[in-house]
Structure formats: structure tokens, C-alpha cells
Amino acid sequence: MVATIGNQQTIRSTEVFDSLNPATSEVIATFPVFGEADVADTVQRARQAASWWAELGWAGRQQRLLAWKSHITRYMGRLAELVHNETGKPVPDAQLEILLAIVHIDWAAKHARRVLGPRRVRSGLVAMNHAAVLEYQPLGVVGVIGPWNYPVFTPMGSIGYALAAGNAVVFKPSELTPAVGGWLVSSFAEVVPEQPVLQLVTGAGQTGGQLARSGVDKIAFTGSATTARKVMAACAENLTPIVAECGGKDAMIVGSDADLDAAADACAWGALSNAGQTCVGIERVYVAQDVYHTFLEKLADRVTSVRPGDDREADYGPMTMPGQAEIIESHIADALARGARPVVGGIASIRRPYVGPVILADVPEESKAVTDETFGPTVTVAKVADLAEGVELANASRYALGGTVFAKNKKAAMAAARALRSGMTAINSVISFASVPSLPFGGSGDSGFGRIHGADGLREFARPKAITRQRMKPLLNLTSFTRSDKDMNRLLAGAAILHGRRYR
Ligand code: TXE
């Protein structure tokens, strides 16, 4: 049976696909592949819903988004089971991901008016007879193309903020996690039954491409840099703007004064949790030489008790995307061929659909395990002279997403954090920036561009609107053909006094 998806629409395409449990290969549900006409119909319905949603105003939207947040919180158990079944991750990890998404919906709902609502700004001397108002209006319809690794948290960083900014959303979840996407859309329809403000389209890359070409007002994409390029090309046809959250190759830098137990513990979690399928997961570690061996021992020690599986005691699950195991294998093989030393695990750690923890030391910097996103439970550990060299090597990547610095000296840690080219850095913890809703999240280079979360994340889904309102007649009427030479001379004399002073 094809799953119902809460859109109450007739789908013209007859093609379907299955969503599978990656641990057992059982079919979870069957979904329609939305074709071009189906996507177009959905976007058209979203246009009407967008007007209704925008007219609700800040208070109306806030009340409904908070009701949605409450609904997700109360039914978190069901959603977590679904996330577990579709991605294979342990239920507590699914709960953590959902909780983070809830925190973000809450923040977006409560701060949208303050960040985006109308406000008076100074009009300046030249325009002192005008009142100046700045506000951020909704874009209209936002298309969200989501990934599978955090199927609630990641797309919600766009969906929650786009809705709070007053837009309707058409959501295409990954073809690996459509049931989670369907649950989110249906749950929204339960608290906002009046209009299809949040709709689902299901299918693989082709459906995503159709959404990008559909004339939506913005695309929020999360996935690989390779796919982001294709999505941008599709968006270019209509000059549709895009925010792209792509992968990463995040580094942890460990200084000689770091708390090594805490650093090893954070590294193990940052590298292995969710089977390493985390865009801001730790994939490389650079450790100051005088603590290198102690750190490596402590890390190896922690990692030996970490185990993948599908049982309730497992620390992490299978690879969600079966093909990922090949990439992981090729990165390990390449590193070993170049002389890397396996400290924990190796090729034998790959037991599909699971991959055991792998720690590689002395990996040449030009190896794929250092340059490319592995997206598996593997990490490379290298020796550096100090924090500065760690920063230099961390920055020598085409990715720039997150990262971590472990050091006790606050000034040195802050300086290293600032010097990292990434969009986010955690000091003495991992991934903590993702749990602070007022902080923007996003990267540069192959990690993408634009921001979700925080005030910047709200503005990403809004268009700035500038308004001037003349309050009194101008002293000098400069924008008129009746302007006199006298007025112009007065203006230039004023400009010379105000701006013409020499600066030394
Ligand atoms: O991602 P894709 P995949 C990285 C990770 C992983 C790799 C591939 O390294 O190994 O990406 O994963 C839709 N037009 N990340 O294949 O292809 C697709 O249906 C429009 C990092 O799953 O980027 C899905 O909904 N849309 C990342 C979404 O794009 C298209 C999370 C992502 O798929 C499309 C996931 C097209 N032509 C993987 N082709 C992160 N930043 O966390 C595909 N899609």
C-alpha cells in the first residue's frame, strides 16, 4: 500500500518506491515518485497557503508553530522509533535529534517578530525629514530538499525558520527517509489543518530537480557538494536563490594544555556517533606533539568499547546509505597504501551494513581519508607542533563547516577558534554550536553557503523591505527639477564640512 502523506492531493504519477530499514532491509512503507506535474501542483497549492499563512501575522504563526512543537514533543516516542527504523540510529540518538529540532522551532517561533518585524532605523542627515523603516517580508514558497542522516533536525533548520518567517514550505525528504518526512508534514497538518502550509513531495534526485526548477522562491538544500552543484544549476534557470548546507571534513585541534580525557571522550563521540554520518562530525584530529601519544592511547581506549548494531545497547547503527561503505573502504585502503598506521580497526571493520570504529594515525595529508568527506565512523589523528599548525592544516581543506579546539588557555583557544575558516567552532566540546538556536549554522567552500538557525537563519528566508516616509518638507529639495544652484551649493558646502576633513 502506498503511504498516505497528509497532503490530501491526487498524485498523477504511478511510479512508487520503498523506504527500507537499513539494518534489516525490511520495507517500512511505499511512497509515490512525484513527477513534474505533481510537483507543480503542489507548489501552486503552496502559493495560496503562503498568502493565508503570511496574513495570519506574527502572533498567529507563533501560536501555531508552538502548538506544532508541543505536538512533536508529546509524540516524540513514535517519531524516534520511525527515525530509528529508517536510519538505523539508536532510539536515544533519534530522541536527541528531535529534541534539538524542537529547541529550534521554539526559538524561531519566539524570535521571528523581533528579528524580522518592522523597525525604525536612523535616516541620517541628508534624509532627516524622512522616517526610515526596515522590515523582512516572507519570500513566498520555500522548497526544502533534505538529507537522510538527521532527517528531523537537519531539514527542520530550514523548515522551522522558513515557516516562522511567514513562508509556505514544500519539503522533499531524502528518498532514504520519506516516512520521517511524511510524519513531520502530517503532524503539522494536525495542528494547522486549514491550509497546506507545509507539504510533502517524495521521490529521489529527479523529484528534487523538479522542485528546484518549479519556480519556488528559494531552495534550502542539504546534501553533498556534488548534488548542490546540480541543484544550483537547476535553480539558475529561474534565478531561484539557494542556501546550501553541504558536507564537511571537520577537524579537532588538541593543544598541549588540553584536558586529554575530555578531549578523547569528545573525539570518540564526535567521530563515531551516528556511524560518523554527521556533516559536523570529527573526521580529522591534530594533536600537539607533547601530548600526542597520551591522547592517542586515551582515544583508542575509549573507542574499543564502542560497538555498532541494531540492538538497544548498540552505540551506533548501520550505514544508512548502503553505498557509503564503499567510500569508507576506499578511504581506509588509500590511507593504508600510503603508509598510515591503523590504531583501531581497519578494512576488516567493514561488516556491511555495519562499520566498526577505525582510528588511523600517520596518514599523509594528501590521502582521501584527510581530503575527502568519509562520512563513516573513522578518524585520522596527526601530530602537530602547536595549535597554530593544527589550524593551518585544518584550514587546508576545500570544506569549511565546523570544528573543535581543546585547550585550557582561554585566549589561545579563542584565537585558534577565530582563525579556523569554518562557520562554527566549539571549544572544549563537540558540535555544541548546533544546540544554540541563536547561533547561525553553515559553512563555506565545498561546505556550501548561506545560514540556517538564529537571526541569520530567519533572514535567509525573508526579503528585506526598505521604506522611507517623508515626515516634513525638505530643507533643500534635491530630487526635483526645480532644484536651485543655491540649494546645490549649500549641500556641497555641508558635505565638505561633514565628510571632507582629511584623515591621517
Ligand atoms: O546526498 P545527496 P546522498 C554527503 C555525504 C554522503 C554524500 C552523498 O558525504 O556520502 O553526501 O549522500 C536530493 N536535484 N552528505 O547521495 O545526493 C536527494 O534526493 C535535486 C552530507 O544522500 O546530496 C536528497 O533529498 N535534488 C549531508 C538530497 O538531495 C537532488 C547529508 C541529498 O542527496 C538531486 C547527506 C538533484 N539532481 C549526505 N540529486 C550533510 N550536509 O549532512 C539528489 N537530490
Angle at 105 between CA 104 and CA 106, to 5 degrees: 90
Residue type at 14 in one-letter notation: T
Q: Which three cell numbers stand for residue 463?
A: 526579503
Q: Which three cell numbers stand for residue 501?
A: 576633513
Rounded Cα distance, 87 and 93, in Å: 11
Q: Is the beta carbon of 243 within 6 A of some atom in ligand 1?
A: no
Which helix (H) or strand (E) is 471 found in, with range? Answer: none
Candidates 19, 89, 100, 145: which one to mutate for ligand 1, based on the most atoms within 8 Å of Cβ?
A: 145
pLDDT tens-place values along the chain, 504 residues long:
455 555 556 888 889 999 999 999 999 999 999 999 999 999 999 999 999 999 999 999 999 999 999 999 999 999 999 999 999 999 999 999 999 999 999 999 999 999 999 999 999 988 999 999 999 999 999 999 999 999 999 999 999 999 999 999 999 999 999 999 999 999 999 999 999 999 999 999 999 999 999 999 999 999 999 999 999 999 999 999 999 999 999 999 999 999 999 999 999 999 999 999 999 999 999 999 999 999 999 999 999 999 999 999 999 999 999 999 999 999 999 999 999 999 999 999 999 999 999 999 999 999 999 999 999 999 999 999 999 999 999 999 999 999 999 999 999 999 999 999 999 999 999 999 999 999 999 999 999 999 999 999 999 999 999 999 999 999 888 899 999 999 999 999 999 999 999 988
What is the Cβ-side half-sphere exposure of residue 440, based on CA atoms within 13 angstroms? 16
223 CA to middle of ligand 1, Å?
Answer: 4
CA distances from 410 to 155, 407, 418, 461, 471 (A): 34, 7, 12, 35, 51
Predicted local distance difference test score (pLDDT) of residue 476: 87
Rounded Cα distance, 456 and 161, in Å: 10
Predicted local distance difference test score (pLDDT) of residue 217: 98
Catalytic positions are 245, 279
Chain centre to alpha carbon of residue 372: 19
Peptide bond into 353 cis (omega under 30): yes
Q: Is the beta carbon of 140 within 6 A of some atom in ligand 1?
A: no
CB atoms within 10 A of CB 437: 21
Rounded Cα distance, 411 and 413, in Å: 5
Residue with cell 513534474: 36
Rounded Cα distance, 253 and 283, in Å: 11
Q: Is the beta carbon of 203 within 6 A of some atom in ligand 1?
A: no
345 CA to middle of ligand 1, Å?
Answer: 28
What does the H/E/C string look like for 338-368? CCCEEEECCHHHEECCEECCEEEECCCCCCH
Predicted local distance difference test score (pLDDT) of residue 11: 85
Q: Which three cell numbers stand for residue 491?
A: 549641500
Residue type at 10 in one-letter notation: T
Q: Please name every residue paired with 465 in a beta bridge, in sequence order, or none if there are none.
A: 135
Q: Is the beta carbon of 446 within 6 A of some atom in ligand 1?
A: no
Residue with cell 567521530: 271
Q: Which three cell numbers stand for residue 403?
A: 570544528
Q: Which three cell numbers stand for residue 266?
A: 569528545
- Residue length, the chain? 504
Beta carbons within 8 Å of 27's beta carbon, 6+ residues apart: 18, 19, 20
Beta carbons within 8 Å of 293's beta carbon, 6+ residues apart: none
Got the DSSP string for 366-420?
Answer: TSHHHHS---SSEEEEEEESSHHHHHHHHHSSSEES--EEE-S-HHHHHHHHHHS
Atom of ligand 1 nearest to the CA of 327: 10
The beta strand positions in 266-353, using DSSP E, are: 282-288, 341-344, 350-351
Rounded Cα distance, 95 and 98, in Å: 5
Q: Shortest CA distance to 294 belongs to which of 256, 252, 340?
A: 256
Predicted local distance difference test score (pLDDT) of residue 10: 80
The beta strand positions in 442-486, using DSSP E, are: 444-445, 448-449, 462-470
Q: Is the beta carbon of 231 within 6 A of some atom in ligand 1?
A: yes
